[in-house]
Amino acid sequence: MAKRNLILVHRGPQYENDFREIGKKILAIDREIIIHAFASDSSVQLPSLAWIWPTLVVAFTSHFRLEVKRGAVLMNDQIEKFAQCKAFLAAGIPTPETLPFDFGKMLERLRGLALGMFLVHPVEQRKLQLQRIDQL
């Protein structure tokens, strides 16, 4: 009987039921996988004997308190939008055009509607130029 650990690290108590359900579905597929689910801020640690089996940790946050003694850790981490676009293009993944927004930039229009999805997020800190929308 070759056992394995799957450790799921979630963001907090509001996710416990969801991860309990995920654990049940995984267990139904393979009874050799022992599922452990912890909140990222939990101080609970696995007993030493649990670490004798191969382990995979999947963390849905980039910070957690569990001390990982064996195995790979896959964790969530923020990726800057333009770096993500560059990585996708380098890997040959079709990616919508991504450019920084500049005031006055003309966007493609058809019958008064903007085409595609436009995400606006800060690239760098800038000084407020206008106080009110009616100052345009």
Identify the helix (H) or strand (E) that includes residue 55. strand 55-59
What pTM value is reported for the model? 0.62
Average pLDDT, the chain: 80
Structure tokens at 97: 């055009």
Which residues, other chains included, contact 51 with Cβ-Cβ below 8 Å and sequence gap of 6+? 5, 69, 70
pLDDT of residue 116: 53
User: Which of 71, 43, 73 is closest to 58 using CA atoms?
Assistant: 73
| Residues comprising the chain, all counted | 136
The rounded Cα 61 to chain-centroid distance in angstroms is: 7
Structural domain boundaries of the chain?
4-75, 80-126
pLDDT of residue 107: 61
pLDDT of residue 83: 85
pLDDT band for 122, please (50, 70, 90 cuts): low
Decide: 51 and 69 in contact? Cβ < 8 Å.
yes
